[in-house]
């Protein structure tokens, strides 16, 4: 039996760090939306063993790949043996703040669940997803948009998602999420070194959908090291975006456009500078309704 799965990327419309946990992770509050930029996975059941291919990518193919670990977790939880051959076609940039690896892992969990006749409920799949990564439960969930709390694994689904067009600009280099969080200084009343809350680069106070602020507290860290990302935000706004923000820990920056022609023009202009790393997308639900 074989199945082809889409693994959508996400953008963070809001991301605030609430505190640091005893286990070293950070509690956060974030609003995430799945978008039409997506990886594609081909799953083919085998009698035993897990094999992974990533054509055109230097990603590991063993346990160092999150899709391999997701399949291993699924079969361990099922307890009946089995195997799968996975071909992962990467479209979402790696280590880009778009959740590509987490989405791939979620697609494997959901795909294997389908191929095996749905032995696990949605809630059980989310529990399988938690140890794999903070964003994996969001991608396992049926929702298109959600607020997430905890380390990002407590999902509160939203009925609506924003409309319009999304221009994504990736500078072509990866950024370590671990490095960004390690270099983030929590804002406190006694801390003179204020990060994030006074650093909303280039956005109006209510630039986001539904008059919610576009906000990312991690921007100060990543843009502090890579100031070109701040210039990309300014250029997206100059191109007609009604808001621009870095997604996750970066380095991908996105602009929200209401006008398709302006979005297309912005993509064409950035493509000269960042070949193969500029994308035009829509919120996933918008595409589904067309």
> Is 91 one of the annotated active-site residues of the chain?
no
Helices assigned H by DSSP within 6-89: 66-78
Pairing verdict, β 253-257 and 243-246: antiparallel
Cβ burial, residue 100 (10 Å; 0-12/13-18/19+): buried
Output b/e per residue, 152-168; b: 16+ Cβ within 10 A: bbbbeeeeebbebbbbb
Closest residue by Cα to residue 187 from 19, 39, 29: 19
- Which of 10, 34, 90, 233 is catalytic? The answer is 10
CB 72 within 8 A of CB 50: yes
Nearest-5° angle of CA 48, CA 52, CA 56?
160
Assign 196 to helix, strand or coil. Answer: coil
- Which of 135, 153, 233, 239 is catalytic? The answer is 135
Kind and range of the H or E run holding 91:
none
Give catalytic residue positions: 10, 135
């Amino acid at each position: 039996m074989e199945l082809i799965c889409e693994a959508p990327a996400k953008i963070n419309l809001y991301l605030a760090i609430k505190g640091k946990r005893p286990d070293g992770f950070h509690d956060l509050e974030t609003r995430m939306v799945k978008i039409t930029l997506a990886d594609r996975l081909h799953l083919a059941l085998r009698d035993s063993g897990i094999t992974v291919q990533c054509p055109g990518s230097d990603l590991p193919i063993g346990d160092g790949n999150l899709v391999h670990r997701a399949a291993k977790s699924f079969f361990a939880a099922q307890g009946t043996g089995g195997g799968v051959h996975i071909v992962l076609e990467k479209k979402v940039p790696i280590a880009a703040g778009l959740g590509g690896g987490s989405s791939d892992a979620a697609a494997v969990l959901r795909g294997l669940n389908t191929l095996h006749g749905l032995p696990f409920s949605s809630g059980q799949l989310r529990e399988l997803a938690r140890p794999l990564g903070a964003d994996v439960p969001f991608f396992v969930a049926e929702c298109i948009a959600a607020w997430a709390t905890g380390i990002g694994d407590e999902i509160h689904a939203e009925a609506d998602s924003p409309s319009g067009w999304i221009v994504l600009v990736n500078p072509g280099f990866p950024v370590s999420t671990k490095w960004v969080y390690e270099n983030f200084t929590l804002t406190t009343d006694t801390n003179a070194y204020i990060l994030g809350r006074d650093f909303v680069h280039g956005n109006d106070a209510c630039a986001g959908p539904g008059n919610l602020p576009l906000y990312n507290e991690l921007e100060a860290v990543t843009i502090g090291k890579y100031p070109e990302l701040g210039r990309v935000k300014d250029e997206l706004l100059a191109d007609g975006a009604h808001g621009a923000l870095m997604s996750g820990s970066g380095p991908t920056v996105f602009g929200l456009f209401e006008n398709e022609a302006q979005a297309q023009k912005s993509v064409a202009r950035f493509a000269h500078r960042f070949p193969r790393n500029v994308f035009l997308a829509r919120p996933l639900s918008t595409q589904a309704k067309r």
